[in-house]
Structure 1
Amino acid sequence: MDDMSLGSGASAESNTVHYKGKTYQYNKNLMNVLFLGIDTTQDLAQTDMPGNAGQSDCILVLSMDKQKKTARLLQISRDTMTDIDTYDVSGKYVSTIQAQIALQYAYGTGEKSSCWAAKKTVSRLLYDLPIDAYFSMNLDGISTVNDAVGGVTLKLSEDATEVDPTFQKGSTITLQGDMAERFVRKRDTNVSGSNVSRMKRQTEYITTLFQAMREFMKQNGNDFEKTYTKLKLKPYTVTDLSMEQLEDMLSYDFLKKNIETVPGTTKEGKEHDEFYVDEDGLHDLIIQMFYTEVKE
């Protein structure tokens, strides 16, 4: 059978794909969860007018291998230019436009509608990669969970003094309250490409936060429902994951070495930075992360 690229008809939903002379099968042991960090402080459960639901500043696909109990993160730039779908106030599809992927959440009506739209668009960007669930959290959720676990302590791998004078490369800091939000959110929008360094801070923070949450759960007798209640996250989050699934996620290791980023190039647009995906590089990455080679 002739080779075919993932972008020309084959997808992760296919049982097998043929790529660069080899045959690959999608790893059905994986569970892929979309994580969205929303740039709003309002209650995520409320209904919005399309265009007003906030944007997803942080977009991550957490891929967990249920057999190996290992986890990997795939990070997507919020500036990625792609096809996004627009909807009317009733949730009916209107049209598809090319825009930054962060806007897809905004063009839903909030809560589940926006999460569903974002999940569909991210899946399409990744050649119809199966995404099994979603978890979104707004800005207030960051400082809430951060402080509930006693703060997040990490060693900075890069300088971020433009965000806060204390964020010096090599320094060990404990993020408390508003500092946590600044660390994962703030950037100089007047500097082209500033989102790249912010993305690195986001994954650095998230992997450390998961470790802190595991320790926090141990302190609460490994009672997940009790822990989740103490974290007081419900008003700031929307998810279709069950309590059992959320608890199971904490049993996986989130290692910084297992973080991948959708490859591409940032260009200065008329109004905002625009990130254009390197399709060949993304093909290779999707095969490497989500498929296994079939030996013939």
Structure 2
Amino acid sequence: MKKRKVIASIVAVCFSLALLSTWVMIFGCMKRGEQELHANTSMEIPDMSSIPGCVQNGDQLMYRGNIYKYDPANINILFMGIDARGEDESIGQADMLALVVINTEKDTVKCICINRDSIGPVAIYDISGKAATTKNVQIALAYSYGKSQSEGRGLEVDTVSKLLHGIPIHGSVSVDIDGIGGINELVGGITLTALEDVPKAGIVKGEEVTLNDEQAMYYVTERDSASTDIGTNENRMSRQKQYISAWCDAVQQQIKKNPFKIFKMYDSVQGYVDTDISRNSMLYLAKVLKRVQFGEGDIYMVSGDYERENYYDKYLIDEDKLTEMMIETFYRKTE
């Protein structure tokens, strides 16, 4: 009898040690994931000193009589939708840009949608692949100068960071058109009320529809580029905002049940996705995203106005409103 009790005690101790070792290993992976995200960027704080009315001293900023301090608890991930398919010879452009800002102390998420037609500093490369000059053109073009998906993604990250005054970007994800269906399939489709007609998908404005994979692709990518109206991309961005909100909520519900589900989700769309986020970092982000609050009210559009030049739309960002958005998102007001 005593021998059985001893054996049972040994088994219990071994099981406890194994369980403890597993949790220590998981915690270590998460910690490395956090460190890897911060190591992804050489920038630590944005440079707001060139903005009229801003006085910057290190991580502190004075603006309109108030003092703000940069919040290092933010993890900034840039998502980009690429208007190319896997079989296309061209690398494509960044047709959708969204900077997701995760605050690991406040447990909040904000999503800043940036118009692909925004005019910003894009590095122009010569035939040898060296940066020859920088021009203010549509920021979507930055991706197209890459020789590969990862290079294009890196160029787009640099452009968006410069547009936002050197904001640190800790990770990036690009998804091509063929990947949208797979992303939709991950959550079993998204149910929403259509904001406008999308004829190719058989979608009628005002109707509630659960988007199948093909419909999801058309809903977030279609726009009337042949229209004589200026700024047709804004209508598409409204649809993207609606879809992103519903999709993120569905993903969060799955991650809450099992954070490791993020690996299965990534593996199922890996052929259409390019990222510099490691698996350790994915696990860390899944842990954080389990507890955050996020809704459509946390998705913001960078304000600006459209102009048309030589048949191309130009979106000119309102710098005052951009400054206010950046201070509200990335800084904390000090007493």
Q: TM-score, normalised by structure 1?
A: 0.86
Please, which runs of 5 or more residues in structure 2 have no aligned partner? 1-47
Residue 269 of structure 1, aligned match among 309, 314, 323: 309
Residues 101-147 of structure 1 deviation map (CA, whole Å, 9 limit, x = unaligned): 10010012222211111111111111111111111111111011212
Aligned counterpart, 2:44 = none
Distance 1:81 1:162, change over 3 A: farther
Aligned counterpart, 2:203 = 166
Q: How does 1:209-220 map to 2 (within 5 A)?
A: 209-217=247-255
- Give the number of the structure whose residues are more often helix, by fraction: 2
Aligned counterpart, 1:121 = 159
* Shift in Å, 1:39: 0.4
Residue 246 of structure 1, aligned match among 269, 273, 282: 282
Q: Bigger shift: 232-241 or 13-22?
A: 13-22
Residue 100 of structure 1, aligned match among 126, 129, 138: 138
Counterparts of 1:167 and 1:11, CA distance in 2 = 50
Residue 108 of structure 2, aligned match among 52, 61, 70: 70
Tell me the secondary structure at the aligned position of residue 7 of structure 1. Answer: coil
Asked whether 1:288 is paired with 2:332, we answer no
Distance 1:82 1:124, change over 3 A: same
Distance 1:83 1:218, change over 3 A: closer
Distance 1:264 1:163, change over 3 A: farther
Residues 28-62 of structure 1 deviation map (CA, whole Å, 9 limit, x = unaligned): 11001111000001279xxx8xxx42101100100
Counterparts of 2:152 and 2:243, CA distance in 1 = 25
Residue 266 of structure 2, aligned match among 217, 228, 231: 228
Please, which runs of 5 or more residues in structure 1 have no aligned partner? none
Instruction: Check whether the contact 1:39–1:139 (CA below 8 A) recurs between aligned residues.
Output: yes
Equivalences, count? 282
Q: TM-score, normalised by structure 2?
A: 0.77
Instruction: Check whether the contact 2:157–2:172 (CA below 8 A) recurs between aligned residues.
Output: yes
Rg bigger for which structure?
2
Distance 1:131 1:217, change over 3 A: closer
Tell me the secondary structure at the aligned position of residue 130 of structure 1. Answer: coil
* Shift in Å, 1:244: 3.5
Residues 179-234 of structure 1 deviation map (CA, whole Å, 9 limit, x = unaligned): 111100000012321111100111211121122233455777854323433xx211
Residue 187 of structure 2, aligned match among 149, 153, 159: 149
Q: Bigger shift: 90-99 or 124-133?
A: 90-99
Residue 120 of structure 2, aligned match among 58, 71, 82: 82
Counterparts of 2:315 and 2:200, CA distance in 1 = 22
Distance 1:30 1:11, change over 3 A: farther
Distance 1:150 1:286, change over 3 A: same
Counterparts of 1:259 and 1:210, CA distance in 2 = 11
Aligned counterpart, 2:33 = none
